[in-house]
Structure formats: C-alpha cells, structure tokens
C-alpha cells in the first residue's frame, strides 16, 4: 500500500500548492491514502471549514492538526461534523471533534489514523501522549481491526518524538512528527518495522521563519520587542512530506523516503515511486 503524508500547510501559498499538486500526485504515484496536516493553513494559525473541505477535495483522506487547532473559532463548531478532521486525541474528554478514526484506503484497506500532541515545550499541556496512544492501540490493534496505523505526533522536542516512535514500534505502520516545520534527515524504519521521521517539514514558503514573513520574528530575536504581527509568508511554496510503502501482509513499513516539490529545498520524490 502506498501512503503519502504531507507536513503542516502554512498560509495561502502552502495550502494552494497542496491543492494544485496533490490531485496529480495521487494519480501519477498511484497513492492509496493521503494524510495532510492542516493546522497552520489559515494565515498560519488554525484552519477553516472551507480550507478543510478544499483539502479533502484535492485528494487528502484525513486532515490532522495540533496546538493551533482552535485558533480559528469556527473549528470548535465544525470539528464534530467531519470524520476526516482530527484534533489531538489527548485533549480532555468532552473536547469537540475526534482524535482518531478508521478510514478506507483506495485499495480497500482499513487505516487507523491518530493525531497525538506532545507535552515537552508545548502549550497547552495535554494528557499523557503515551497513555493516549496505548489506549488507541489497545482498542484497534494492527492487523486485527486495522490494516495500517498512522500516528501524526505533533510535538516540539525530537527526543519526545523519537521515544514515542520507539514506544509504538512494531505496533504502528508510521509515526511522523509535525509542528517544527523543518524536514529532518532521519527517515528510517525502526527495528520493529514502524516507519519514522522526526518532522515531515511544512508545505509553505521556505524563504521565511517557519513559514512566517521573516522580518518580525527576526526583529523579536534582536530587539525583544514586537513591532507587528506574525504574517504568513507569501512566496512560492515547497511541498514537504514523506512516502511510505506498507506491507499488505504485516501492516508494517517496507520503504520510506522524503518527498519535496518546489523551490529552495532539493526536490525529491521517493525513488520507489519514480
């Protein structure tokens, strides 16, 4: 099974690039399932219902989020209406929406996707991500209720991301980090067969500071005083993510490689799909 994960869409340029490129990627690469993190899609802060729906229409099967999920107030009301929209599963009981779900891939496989948020250097500090993941896996074990399991682990600290990967190794198909907006060079398959990458990177303008126009972040580092608001950068976007080949027999990863399309970063498409 061929699965594509795309990192945080940032602002108009990031979401537009995904909408323009994703239909062709689904067709050309014969993708069975696509997950996109959309938590920075609306001006860099949160996501609207229209943006969510447009991302689904472009070919995403699930849209995940993170700490900015509620930045757009309408998300509180639409989160519960769409099964393909996920907020972190370790929010307290009673939070609108859902943190995980089972979806059907284009090849008929059952895919469990779970959105989990880390706690190190993160706000708000949510429930224990490890306990949340354990409960999700206990309720839907790999190759029993699910043919593949994907975790979007939205976190700041790479140590927490790596430990989470080892925690679910052999019990999930993929653990991919989001939130830090910079693609890491540690694509690998862990000892137990789980594909892992500390951060997928962002879909946005890399002539920026994490997708934001660089002048105001730079000013705050130098002067320690705000001069204005953070604004999403509007230059040409690079799409960043990763591709994973998942065994139909075991539900574990067989191949993993980064995907990058656009300016500034070296372009690459997983060689096993080229």
Mean pLDDT per 10-residue run, the chain (274 residues)? 98 98 97 98 98 98 98 97 98 97 98 98 97 98 98 98 98 98 98 98 98 97 96 98 98 98 96 88
Does 147 count as an annotated binding residue?
A: no
- Alpha helices, DSSP H, located in the chain: 11-28, 49-58, 75-78, 129-139, 158-168, 215-223
Does 39 count as an annotated binding residue?
A: yes
> Cα separation of 200 and 187, whole Å?
9
Indicate the average pLDDT of the chain.
98
Sheet of strand 100-104, all strands in order from the earlier edge strand to the far edge: 100-104, 110-117, 148-154, 174-178, 195-197, 188-189
Q: Which residue has the tokens 């653990």?
A: 175
The whole-number pLDDT of residue 267 equals: 96
- How confident is the model over 105-160, as pLDDT tens digits? 999 999 999 999 999 999 999 999 999 999 999 999 999 999 999 999 999 999 99
Residue 123 catalytic? no
Q: Terminus-to-terminus CA distance in the chain, angstroms?
A: 15
The whole-number pLDDT of residue 274 equals: 75
Q: Which residue has the tokens 């969510």?
A: 52
Give the tokens for residue 146. 């699910």
Does 40 count as an annotated binding residue?
A: yes
Domain residue ranges in the chain: 2-205+236-261
Give, in order, the Cα–Cα distances in Å from 101 to each of 30, 63, 64, 215, 259: 23, 11, 11, 40, 25
The whole-number pLDDT of residue 1 equals: 97
Helix (H, G, I), strand (E, B) or coil at 13: helix
Does 28 count as an annotated binding residue?
A: no
Does 8 count as an annotated binding residue?
A: yes
- Alpha-carbon torsion 128, 145, 65, 206, what sign? positive
> Cα separation of 134 and 167, whole Å?
9
Give, in order, the Cα–Cα distances in Å from 200 to each of 175, 250, 270: 10, 24, 14
The class that CATH gives domain 2-205+236-261 is: alpha beta
For 116-148, the DSSP string reads EE--TT-SS--S-HHHHHHHHHHHS-BTTTBSE
């Amino acid at each position: 099974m061929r699965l594509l994960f795309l990192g945080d869409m940032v602002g108009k340029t990031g979401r537009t690039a995904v909408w323009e490129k994703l239909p062709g990627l689904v067709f050309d690469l014969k993708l069975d399932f696509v997950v996109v993190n959309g938590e920075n899609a609306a001006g860099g802060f949160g996501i609207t219902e229209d943006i969510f729906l447009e991302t689904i229409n472009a070919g995403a099967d699930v849209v995940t989020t993170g700490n900015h999920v509620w930045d757009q107030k309408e998300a509180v009301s639409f989160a519960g209406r769409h099964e393909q929209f996920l907020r972190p599963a370790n929010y307290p009981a009673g939070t609108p929406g859902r943190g995980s779900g089972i979806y059907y891939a284009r090849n008929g496989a059952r895919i469990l996707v779970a959105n989990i948020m880390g706690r190190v250097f993160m706000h708000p500090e949510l429930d224990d991500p490890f306990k949340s993941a354990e409960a999700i896996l206990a309720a839907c074990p790999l190759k029993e209720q699910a043919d593949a399991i994907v975790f979007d682990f939205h976190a700041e600290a790479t140590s927490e991301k790596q430990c989470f990967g080892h925690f679910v190794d052999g019990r999930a198909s993929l653990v991919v980090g989001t939130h830090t907006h910079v693609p890491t060079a540690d694509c690998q398959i862990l000892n137990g067969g789980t594909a892992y990458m500390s951060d997928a990177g962002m879909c946005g303008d890399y002539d920026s500071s994490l997708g934001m126009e660089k002048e105001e972040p730079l000013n705050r580092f130098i002067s320690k005083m705000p001069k204005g608001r953070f604004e999403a950068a509007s230059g040409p976007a690079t799409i960043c993510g990763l591709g994973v080949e998942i065994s139909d027999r075991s539900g574990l990863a067989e191949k993993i490689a980064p995907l990058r399309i656009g300016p500034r970063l070296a372009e690459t498409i997983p060689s096993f799909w080229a």
